[in-house]
Amino acid sequence: MDKKIICDIREFNRFYTKVLGLFNNQILGTSYSLTEVRILFEISERTECIANHLVQELSIDKSYMSRIIRKLEREQLIEKKSSTTDSRKNFLLLTKKGKAILDNIHIQSDIQINQLFNGLNDEEINEIVSSMMKIKQKLSKTGGAPVQ
């Protein structure tokens, strides 16, 4: 691969590190860590979600996961329902409160996204989003990055 291309990619990575940093900082205002929010989100998206799936999917240490699950349970954002067919597994579910908090975080995040795109017209926004989709679609194929 060409030096110029590698350089451009690295430049984009530095740039987007900062963009994502903004979002992470916003989450810092919520008394939940980025990892905790990712976990809440994954639980909200999955049916029959168990901790070990998240350990693999999000590359989180299982002991750390265990403690986060306990914290979220204590704060009543999630509930465990142990599997009837395999008592090692606990299905994780968002509570009403958990859903509300995740929704709220998303609303905050929406505001931030709007800020980031502020001043761009619809055509420009569409160009950016389709660029994003193209990057994701192409890079997902390579296996260099986890699938999603």
Partner DNA sequence: GGTAATTGTGGACTGAGTCAACTAAGGGAG
Partner DNA sequence: CTCCCTTAGTTGACTCAGTCCACAATTACC
- Sites of contact with DNA (CB under 7 A): 33-35, 50-52, 55, 60-67, 69-70, 80, 85-90
- Edge to edge, what strands does the sheet with 90-94 contain? 49-50, 90-94, 78-82
* Residue 110 within binding range of a copy of itself, rule CB under 8 A: yes
Residue 62, contacted partner among a copy of itself, DNA, none, CB below 5-8 A by kind: DNA
CA–CA gap between residue 82 and residue 91 (Å, rounded) = 6
* Residue 141 within binding range of a copy of itself, rule CB under 8 A: yes
* Residue 132 within binding range of a copy of itself, rule CB under 8 A: yes
Any alpha helices (H) in the chain, and if so which ranges?
3-28, 34-45, 51-57, 62-74, 96-116, 122-142
Query: For residue 53, how many C-alpha atoms fall within 13 Å in the half-sphere facing its CB?
Result: 15
Contact with a copy of itself (CB under 8 A) among 9, 52, 70, 103: 9
CB 97 within 8 A of CB 76: yes
Residue 109, contacted partner among DNA, a copy of itself, none, CB below 5-8 A by kind: a copy of itself
**Interface contacts to a copy of itself, rule CB under 8 A:** 1, 5-6, 8-23, 38, 41, 59, 106, 109-110, 112-120, 124-129, 131-136, 138-146, 148
